[in-house]
């Protein structure tokens, strides 16, 4: 049974799925962390792999960029493949250059958003997009003993990478938002609607506010091991 966007057969995808934006990162996670990874879908170049991790099955499937794309994959995983836990392992731009620095990890305890999709479910209500507490707690517990620089707090999930209102960054920073990315709120929204658990963990790849430093796309691909380890700890909890 394939869906319109995932070619895997039933049983090909594990109940726990890691979800990076970038398909190449999906391949790298599978090759670096999974035992005996196998490709289970590649529709539109969105790669998905299933393998083992410490004796349990686990999958990784890219989301593509932005909430409309992520929502397609997260919905199909939950609705048609019996997936119970999805953890985004992404990158983000820091809004707090003094604390959330290049290479640091941010666990998104909530996600503000400008996405129109957020208004679809309960018109007139600005929903709070939040992760599943068991996953949040497990990732934070793993972070405490990991030695990595990890921050827990709100992020902003935007529909726009090249935002027409760049001043938004300052206003969001002033209310404690740690960084900007493009999927966490959409993942939390789909998870709540589909009755599954979700969490977003992002590595800081650049500064939206602060120094003009950023990771190259190759660095972005290779410097996220700490967030993957937290994600794997969370889904197993
Ligand atoms: O590195 P990923 O996981 O794709 O995440 C970030 O990078 C992309 C923008 O370059 C957006 O998807 C944003 O959320
Ligand atoms: O969405 C993103 C991801 C990384 N950096 C940004 O500025 N935005």
Ligand 1 atom nearest to CA at 66:
12
- Tell me, what's the pLDDT at 224? 83
Determine the average pLDDT of the residues in 161-165: 94
Confidence of residue 215 (pLDDT cuts 50, 70, 90): confident
- Judge if the beta carbon of residue 180 lies within 6 A of ligand 2: yes
- Judge if the beta carbon of residue 91 lies within 6 A of ligand 2: yes
Examine the residue annotation and report whether 206 is marked as an active-site residue of this protein. Answer: yes
Looking at the structure, give the CATH architecture of the domain made up of residues 16-236: 3-Layer(aba) Sandwich (3.40)
- Model confidence pLDDT, tens digit, residues 77-96: 999 999 999 999 999 999 99
Q: How far, in Å, from the CA of 185 to the mean position of ligand 2?
A: 14
Complex confidence, ipTM: 0.98
Determine the average pLDDT of the residues in 47-62: 98
Q: How far, in Å, from the CA of 91 to the mean position of ligand 2?
A: 7
Report which protein residue has its CA nearest ligand 2's atom 5. 93
- Judge if the beta carbon of residue 189 lies within 6 A of ligand 1: no
Q: Quote the CA–CA distance of 172 and 178 in Å, as a whole number.
A: 8
Catalytic residue among 35, 206, 218, 225: 206
Q: 183 with 200: CB under 8 angstroms?
A: yes
- Model confidence pLDDT, tens digit, residues 3-24: 999 999 989 999 999 999 999 9
């Amino acid at each position: 049974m394939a869906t319109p966007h995932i070619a895997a057969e039933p049983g090909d995808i594990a109940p726990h799925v890691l979800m990076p934006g970038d398909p190449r990162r999906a391949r790298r996670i599978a090759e670096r962390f999974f035992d005996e990874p196998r490709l289970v879908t590649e529709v539109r170049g969105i790669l998905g792999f299933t393998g083992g991790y410490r004796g349990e099955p686990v999958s990784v499937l890219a989301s593509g960029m932005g909430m409309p794309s992520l929502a397609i994959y997260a919905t199909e995983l939950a609705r048609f493949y019996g997936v119970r836990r999805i953890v985004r392992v992404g990158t983000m731009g820091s809004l707090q250059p003094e604390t959330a620095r290049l290479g640091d990890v941010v666990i998104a305890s909530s996600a503000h958003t400008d996405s129109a999709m957020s208004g679809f479910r309960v018109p007139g209500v600005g929903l709070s997009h939040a992760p599943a507490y068991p996953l949040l707690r497990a990732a934070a517990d793993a972070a405490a003993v990991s030695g990595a620089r990890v921050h827990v707090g709100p992020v902003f999930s935007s529909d726009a990478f090249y935002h027409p209102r760049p001043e938004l960054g300052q206003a969001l920073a002033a209310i404690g938002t740690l960084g900007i990315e493009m999927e966490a709120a959409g993942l939390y929204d789909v998870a709540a609607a589909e009755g599954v658990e979700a969490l977003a963990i992002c590595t800081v790849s650049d500064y939206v506010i602060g120094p003009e430093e950023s990771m190259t796309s190759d660095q972005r691909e290779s410097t996220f091991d700490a967030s993957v380890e937290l994600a794997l700890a969370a889904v197993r909890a």
